[in-house]
Amino acid sequence: MDHASHTPLASLYPAHLARVMASADAALAAAGKDHLVLPSGRVRYAFQDDRPLPFRANPNFLHWLPLTDLPDSWLVHSPGRRPTLVYCQPDDYWHLPPAPPHGYWPEHFEVVVVRDAAEAARHLPPPARCAIVGDPDWALGEHVPDNPQALVGRLHWDRACKSEYELEAMRMANRRAVRGHLAARQAFHDGRSERQIHAAYLEATGHAEPDLPYGSIVALNAHAAVLHYQHQRHDLPDAHRSFLLDAGAEVAGYASDITRTWHDGDATFAALVAAVDAVQRALCARVRPGVDYRDLHLEAHRRLAAVLEELGIVRMAADEQVASGVSAVFFPHGIGHLIGLQVHDVGGFMAGPGGGRTGPPEGHPFLRLTRPLLPDMVVTIEPGLYFIPMLLERLRAGPHAGRVDWALVGRLAPYGGVRIEDDVRAAPDGAENLSRDAFAQAVA
């Protein structure tokens, strides 16, 4: 990716880098270390094979630099000094090596180009005073990642709140993903297979499969009831009833994560999709600094339970559904998570920059974020209602089976389920919906 062409990012990058350096200074002081050392990562290989696996850069490295495909490189930060990047550009005729350093970032670093991965060690400080953050398998001689807890905790806490540079990269990633969602929607209506729909998504986003921030969920019909459905079938189903697409894109290392559900026009399922969409919009509007994300999750259960009651799927009041666990049969996952350099970004359970853990509400083990929202956090909001055979069987065998319209459940089960997901910023004056804004711009 030519980062020099990202003019909005270029103008915002210096302030972002200053912010990252200040965070690193505080983290080093907390850990009693003099140098922060960040390996970019290393290419891994399949077991008993010389086939390389897709490279994923160290997200801590990416917080400083938009270099998503630069293995065997190292960043060194020492407070009060210009940061150093040891940039590995090997002599290699088997693979295309990285291009020479270019873009909006090199002027802010002392760049040292090395031609061999082992050569980087000569340009790193003595390890005794270093905090090295990364996978221990990325060790280079005596420079072994140790991930000091006090330092890593502070970095993760700070990373949850995004700089304007990061927010702009995530807006761009949402716009990129929306192009794919619109192409996939058309492919669904054209009667394509899951594999063909995914190909349309990749073509529209300009991504290759390894470049995606996560494996796309491309689910036709009942496959939508598998929360992390992992296949993309090439054969066509007997009918295209419904389509759930959970797919994102990446810009400068930052991810988007968007889900939409489409249908064939069936009035009963269309009403369910519209109801979940209304719940999702209402929850997104509640994203703002000071809101406890756990409360949003519980509110999602109450609102979705009300949908189940209003549509006649469950004959129980919403509060009774939530208290008895019936709502969790139809909505068994969390309302969302932090997002940024990682799709499920770090720090979701932290009680504070000094450590500690805040757990999810009792009975809701799959919630990935339990912190009150701070200004410029970006979270996903992804309510859903599903018809999951395993969970429905347990409900049918339990004490509340008589409160369910099983004929209606059977009618909806071939559609799998509904999920709607957006990326939403807790802006100082309310919610900024990065995903809805991107859809609005795409169709304007």
- pLDDT value at residue 86: 98
Q: Each residue of 401-423: b (16+ CB within 10 Å) or e? A: eebbeeeebeebbbbbbbbbbbb
Closest-CA residue to 155 (of 355, 394, 431, 385)? 355
Residue carrying structure tokens 């007997």:
238
Q: What DSSP letter does each residue of 318-353 carry, written as one string?
A: HHHHHHHTHHHHH--S-S--B-SSSSS-S-TTBSST
Closest-CA residue to 39 (of 161, 130, 174, 159)? 130
DSSP annotation of 226: S
For each of the domains in the chain, give its residue range(s) and CATH number, in order of start. Answer: 3-159 (3.40.350.10), 164-443 (3.90.230.10)
- Whether residue 133 contacts residue 60, with contact meaning beta carbons closer than 8 Å, is answered with yes
Say if strands 84-88 and 110-114 run parallel, antiparallel, or are unpaired: parallel
Q: Which two tokens stand for residue 159?
A: 């990373």
- pLDDT value at residue 443: 84
CA distance 109 to 87: 11
- pLDDT value at residue 355: 85
What backbone phi and psi angles, to 5 degrees, belong to 25?
-60, -45
- Whether residue 258 contacts residue 434, with contact meaning beta carbons closer than 8 Å, is answered with no
pLDDT profile of the chain (444 residues), mean per 10: 66 98 97 98 96 96 98 98 98 94 97 97 97 98 97 97 98 98 98 98 97 98 98 97 98 98 97 98 98 98 98 98 98 98 96 92 94 98 98 98 98 98 96 98 87
Give the H or E element holding residue 114. Answer: strand 110-114
Strand order in the sheet with 110-114: 110-114, 84-88, 74-77, 35-39, 130-132
Helices 164-189 and 194-205, packing angle to 10 deg: 140
pTM over 0.95? The answer is yes
